[in-house]
Structure 1
């Protein structure tokens, strides 16, 4: 039985009661909310994502809403990615950076109208930052947190389930594009997206009082495809090379170091936050890069609470930022954030709690 005591500082999502009813046994804290991470069968939840369809409570992915005449201008000031061609109904992955070029969040930006944008954020207080930038630039825009909470359907059979509920039009949605609609009178936005590489959708619920109802609609619709609960905390994200900002990054990491350089457009206007620093970093050359690690050993040994040092020839060259047992590779795998001189194929030592473990540096993604 999973017990929690919500307070004004720790909120459940609109899908929380549904997650508990599904057998929730573990959760984490994300954006000051409860994020389900396990339903008691990690391997079963993993294979459901790989082979079928998994239903996730990701209401912790809060929205930062930009509304007003200068909403588009603020969105571009916050983003080192060129948004000039972004259309209504389109989403874009955006690595937000501070003035030093350090990545601080990596939301999906959704353009709902010329004067209305959402930033579907990872874990950090982007509301305060966006509001401060808007105020100091004198922009006519309101920054707020709307009553919007995503639920994800992920896996190769997710499209069939979502199409069964909303119609076959959803099969034509391009990646990160979305459409606003209603499901049994419940206002939602349906986007092809999600924190896995197995395919799927995020359903943005616009009325928090309808969380249980919406969950049950998809749960019932998904029964023919073997739907069941899951969470984004599976080995699949590591196997697939997905970055967790704040987990795989530190307070000095720039987008180029963690394979996100393709989402940075260095010719955006000079008033974009961090762009001058990013141009300088690129010109000087990146000092670190992210590689994969395959550790020796045949016993699952996930990462603890601390990042672990990586050594080569007696010298510290970086750190392992995550580690998880891969059910497909039958090995412990993780990410290395290491000096640019570290190369694929190199053998290193990871300084684990129980002693050094030999590992091999490899390209990402693993699979």
Structure 2
């Protein structure tokens, strides 16, 4: 584990320590892995009420200039030009061989696009995107900004009194520029827990004021441990574990991110591999896995069937909502059907398991104003 004294810190580092956050190294930053209540309590608080996560380590940037949407489509198969103002989309940054450089969020703010990328990839992402831009379009990193994630069924009720704009009217993937606790903010109705919730981008100097206001409103502080167990139960891949530069969108079960128009034109990086795998099927597929018993299967656990290796676990742990272990991994396509019985080789012992559909816990995104789904 990295020495936290040599790591970068987010604007909320002092607050984390004040309220008992146990700091660890993650993506070059000192981040709270948990607070005194513990990971399971933080996880359950998110599922039942609302949890507050500091995700300021992630990369934020603006894409400015005439034709910014068309320019971004040079490096992603997502439909950016069709993205309406006030809306956000999940997208993949691709390489020429059809692998995933990163996954990211892009929001249309009307006069510019706003990007949020993974912390460990932000320098590479901004370089890759910048190199593909034509004259007149530029990418402007915003390291001066913090980012909070307020997640859970109670998030709307906690945020609404603090926001000047009508956050209750925001649907899933909606975007709103509105002050929160008097601090200018960019609010998106999104997150990575499977729950309804918001991500709140703010100037770094206002981060502690907003965080304290949300904690005072009833949000539970939550760290990296709960964030990981929540996204695993939600069946959401983590870059660097479940997807990387060798993984295609097809085998990663992320084909929903491929725009319909882009599948007609095939004018994006890696299109040849993606088209071939869509037509003929990939060699492997990302699947959900439910081990029998109580023993979790961690990343790199061998997946076997009939004495032969058919794949590997990429993420695994205990699912507090299920009170049972859960995992994700890749298996040969011929064995990827739901319900397929297999074995997980944990510490030299074969643990029975089966392939199961994801998410393990249903998503509760607010698809339309006034209802969660």
* Structure 2 length-normalised TM: 0.87
Give the distance between the partners of 1:97 and 1:154, measured in 2 at CA: 29
Give per-residue Cα distances to partners, 1:201-233, cap 9 Å, x unaligned: 11101x21222122112222x13xxx2111353
Equivalent pair of 2:90/2:106 in contact (CA under 8 Å): yes
Distance 2:347 2:245 in 1: 23
CA-CA distance at 1:167 after TM superposition: 4.5
In structure 2, relative to structure 1, the CA distance for the partners of 1:3 and 1:169 (3 Å cut) is: same
1:169 Cα deviation from its structure 2 partner? 1.0
- Cα offsets for 1:98-126 (capped at 9, x unmatched): 11111221111012234x22221124434
Q: Is the 8 A contact 1:297 1:331 kept in 2?
A: yes
Cα distance 1:217–1:51, how it changes in 2: closer, same or farther (>3 A)?
Answer: same
Structure 1 window deviating more from structure 2 (271-280 vs 122-131): it is: 122-131
Partner of 1:71: 68
Which residue does the alignment assign to 1:179?
176
Give the TM-score normalised by structure 1.
Answer: 0.88
Q: Is the 8 A contact 2:54 2:223 kept in 1?
A: yes
**Match for 1:110 among 107, 112, 128?**
107
1:249 aligns with 2:243: yes
**Would you say the 8 A contact 1:79–1:94 is kept in 2?**
yes
Between the aligned partners of 1:89 and 1:219, the Cα distance in structure 2 is: 27
Work out which of the residue numbers 57, 77, 80 in structure 2 matches 1:80: 77
Structure 2 partner of 1:43: 40
Q: Which of 8, 11, 20 is the equivalent residue of 1:11?
A: 8
- Residues 181-260 of structure 1 aligned to structure 2 (within 5 Å): 181-205=178-202, 207-220=203-216, 222-223=217-218, 227-231=219-223, 233-234=225-226, 235-260=229-254
After TM superposition, the structure 1 = structure 2 runs for residues 255-266 of structure 1, keeping only pairs within 5 Å, are 255-265=249-259
Residue pair 2:129, 2:139 contacting (<8 A) in 1 also: no
Q: 1:92 aligns with which of 78, 86, 89?
A: 89
| Alpha-carbon shift at residue 133 of structure 1 (Å) | 5.0
Q: Is the 8 A contact 2:70 2:81 kept in 1?
A: no
- Counterparts of 1:312-331 in structure 2, within 5 Å, are 312-331=305-324
**Equivalence for 1:356:** 350
Is the deviation greater in 337-346 or in 60-69? Answer: 60-69
CA RMSD of aligned residues (A): 2.3
Q: Relative to 1, partners in 2 of residues 1:357 and 1:123: Cα closer, same or farther, differing over 3 Å?
A: farther
Contact kept? 1:89, 1:110, Cα under 8 Å = yes
Mapping for residues 25-44 of structure 1, pairs under 5 Å? 25-30=22-27, 32-40=28-36, 41-44=38-41
C-alpha deviation, 1:242, in angstroms: 1.3
The aligned counterpart of 2:115 is 119
Q: Which runs of 5+ in 2 are unaligned?
A: 362-373
